[in-house]
Amino acid sequence: MTGAGPGDEGLADQQRVSVVTGGALGIGGATSRRLAADGDLVVLNDIDEAAAEKTCAEITGAGGQVVPVVGDIVDDAVVDQVLAKVRDLGRIDVLVNNVGDFRPASKTFLHSKPEQWQRLHELNLLHVLKVTHALLPMMVDQGSGTIVNNSTVEAFRGIPGNAAYSAYNAGVSAFTRSLAVEVGRHGVRVNAIAPDLADTPQTSAQAMLRGRDPDLVRHWLPLGRFGRVDDYAAVIAFLASDEARFVTGHTVPVDGGTLAASGWYGRADGKGWTNMPDNP
């Protein structure tokens, strides 16, 4: 449970309320299920109505509690719906700003267009500011709360062909640091995770391998495998818990060691780049 602040002894005894954006599939879905299994009432936002219904059914079937809010979180009206739901519940303890995407992608920055930059800005940075700005006042009033943002290891190393995506996620990590300094005095902590090589519907292991021998993965990644969604959800749950009560302002790489060990290489055939050499 998130620790209560001064004058908030009563809140500490209540069920924790967590908001997860993009909470139906991949890392977001695993996070929604994990937080619900830990006893939270989860407000699950997702643009995919069918996926949201399926994940909500899984959570309730396992004995958890969840409230869906279907819609694109980049839209102000959807942010307002999430805020209204939280106000109805009377508290907000955890906010997981999970939504993010490298698409729409371009071959290179020179091939990209301003409308792509705008969509990437909305998906990766702008909505993080909007949702946080909407829900943070309740945390400040409570004197407690935890925010966990989803950045990427590409915020800390170059990723050819995705310069705008990388830039916006670097913004997420910078926002995380600066906001943590501002709101710590109110009992609110702010952290982020930086995933890499997550085997999800958005970035499947099959697509990342592109026909390469899966056995080579053990040579490319220090931990020898792609990330599973529960790997990321576990770190988010930790950062949202009282076990991390003295941790704020950090972006934690959850990458199997890739940030420490790997880089990008120009392909020998001249067709773009790879961070997975064809030979061990």
Say which CATH number the domain at 220 has: 3.40.50.720
Query: Catalytic annotation on 165?
Result: yes
pLDDT interval class at 12 (50, 70, 90): very low
Average pLDDT, the chain: 89
Look at residue 116 and tell me if it is in a domain: yes
Judge whether residue 273 has pLDDT over 80. Answer: no
Look at residue 280 and tell me if it is in a domain: no
Output the six-digit token pair for 19: 């908001």
Look at residue 84 and tell me if it is in a domain: yes
With CA atoms as reference, report the closest residue to 44 among 74, 73, 19, 71.
19
pTM value? 0.88
Look at residue 49 and tell me if it is in a domain: yes
Judge whether residue 258 has pLDDT over 90. Answer: no
Condensed to tens digits (0 to 9), the pLDDT of residues 219-231 reads 777 888 888 999 9
**What total number of domains does the chain contain?**
1
With CA atoms as reference, report the closest residue to 168 among 235, 95, 118.
118
Look at residue 198 and tell me if it is in a domain: yes
- Domain containing 62 equals 11-274
Contact 236, 40 (CB under 8 A): no
Query: Which single residue is written with the structure tokens 């879905």?
Result: 29
Q: What is the mean pLDDT of residues 139-162?
A: 94
Look at residue 65 and tell me if it is in a domain: yes
Look at residue 4 and tell me if it is in a domain: no
pLDDT of residue 2: 34
Judge whether residue 10 has pLDDT over 70. Answer: no
- Please report the beta strands in the chain, taking only residues with DSSP state E, as ranges in sequence order: 17-21, 41-46, 65-70, 94-97, 145-150, 188-195, 251-254, 265-266, 273-274
Q: What is the mean pLDDT of residues 262-280?
A: 69
Condensed to tens digits (0 to 9), the pLDDT of residues 106-144 reads 888 899 999 999 999 999 999 999 999 999 999 999 999
d(CA 229, CA 214): 19
Name the catalytic one among 165, 168, 232, 265: 165
